[in-house]
Amino acid sequence: MFIQALAEEAARRVGPIKALGKDLTALHEGFTSARGGRAPDYLRSGRMRSAYLASFTVPNAARAYHVLEAAGAGLGPGENALDAGAGTGAAALALAALSHPDSDIVLVDQSAPALELAVGLFRTLFPDGPRVATTLTDVREKLPPGPFKTVMAGHLLNELLPRRGHGLGVAFPLARSLAKRTAGHGALIFLEPAQRIPARALSTLRDRLIRTGFRPMFPCTHAAGCPVLSPRARDWCVVDVPFDRPQLTAEVDRLLGTRRQKLTVSALALSKTTGRAPDRAVTVISESMRAGNETLLYLCAPSGRLVVRLPRPPKERLPRGTRLLFPARARPDGRDRSGAPSFRLNPEELVRLR
């Protein structure tokens, strides 16, 4: 309901999609070309803001909603949140949809027009709250002191990573600053594109923040080192996001020749007070793959990455990011090409954790 309402409001604000054709093309090329291929102040242009609202705000809100809900990050009465690099407000709006009206969300961004647009969407979609406030600043230079029950950054660190993707660069000091503003019982959440460089950067950030006292909430089930960072691994962690494509997104897709009927996101949710996950809790990190007469599924476990061979596909689809309870008596019967332990199980032995 929330995503549909946001899409309808966005469509009302942007008007005919065809009139934004050149701006939509330029915006998408800026995001998909070489890293940093768009101007830092691209949201200053009214037409570019309309293009962003038409094409990116709704899918990004759907991504944020899925991750925030899975992490249990909605605000209760009197609680507050910080959205760093809020832009047009996609993540903050998703949080508002999961929160009590008597709560507060602070949006921080260096673009005054983007914040103005975000506040306008808030007032239309959530007239009775949560309350929204804005801070106009570069998040690398200044942030509200906090603490905040939920601290989040959507598609922000990716813009600060080194061009070639080696290390975290200036993204780490910012992430550490956000971590310091997270309340002891709160959640720290990052959302990034489901691409190799930002996703592996989140895995690196995850391991560093765990050493400072944080514990994983989503999509990880354990605090052991991230298996995708092992020297032999060539993967990165991606979460599948349910998406009933609204008419606005479909119109943009037709104009651009894209087809966003399925969304993905690289996500990291941490807390200092997360309870310990069951030792047998694992996370699905691949789509189901056919290999001869078997179905293969890669899982992230406390011991590292492992692969399961199933004689038939599971009755229920298991998107990436799904948590499962691994059978206690399972024993590996070999290893795959990457060296991951291999298990032959029946689909019924993999119990989904709700």
My answer on whether 33 and 74 are in the same domain is yes
Give residue 212's identity as a one-letter amino acid code: T
- Average predicted confidence (pLDDT) for the chain: 90
Sequence-distant (6+) residues with CB within 8 A of 114 are: 43, 49, 86, 87, 88
In degrees, rounded to 5, the angle at the alpha carbon of residue 218 between the alpha carbons of residues 214 and 224 is 55
My answer on whether 337 and 203 are in the same domain is no
Report, as an integer, the average pLDDT of 14-41: 77
At 296-331, the pLDDT tens digits run 999 988 888 899 999 998 888 899 999 999 998 999
- Number of helices (H), then strands (E), in the chain: 9, 16
My answer on whether 136 and 7 are in the same domain is yes
Give residue 143's identity as a one-letter amino acid code: L
Bridge partner residues of 131 (DSSP): 104
pTM of the model: 0.91
Is residue 257 in some structural domain?
yes
My answer on whether 329 and 201 are in the same domain is no
Q: 276 or 312: which carries more pLDDT confidence? A: 312
Report, as an integer, the average pLDDT of 27-36: 67
My answer on whether 42 and 185 are in the same domain is yes
**The CATH number of the domain where 152 resides is what?**
3.40.50.150
Distance CA 132, CA 105 (A): 5
My answer on whether 52 and 178 are in the same domain is yes
Predicted pLDDT at 37: 52
Q: 73 or 38: which carries more pLDDT confidence? A: 73
**The CATH number of the domain where 289 resides is what?**
2.40.50
pLDDT band with cut points at 50, 70 and 90 for residue 277 = low
Q: The tokens of 329 are what?
A: 């008596």
Sequence-distant (6+) residues with CB within 8 A of 231 are: none
Predicted pLDDT at 159: 84
Predicted pLDDT at 35: 47
Q: List the domain range (segments joined by +) for residue 335.
A: 281-352
pLDDT band with cut points at 50, 70 and 90 for residue 226 = confident
**Helix extents (H) in 98-243:** 112-125, 171-180, 196-210
Is residue 276 in some structural domain?
no
pLDDT band with cut points at 50, 70 and 90 for residue 233 = low
Q: Which residue's entry shows tokens 């950030």? A: 205
Strands (E) across 242-333 are located at: 263-271, 281-284, 289-291, 294-301, 304-310, 323-325
My answer on whether 297 and 231 are in the same domain is no
At 94-145, the pLDDT tens digits run 999 999 999 999 999 999 999 999 999 999 999 999 999 999 999 999 999 9
pLDDT exceeds 90 at position 149? yes
Q: For strands 294-301 and 304-310, give the pairing.
A: antiparallel
> Under a CB-based contact definition with an 8 Å cutoff, are residues 37 and 62 in contact?
no
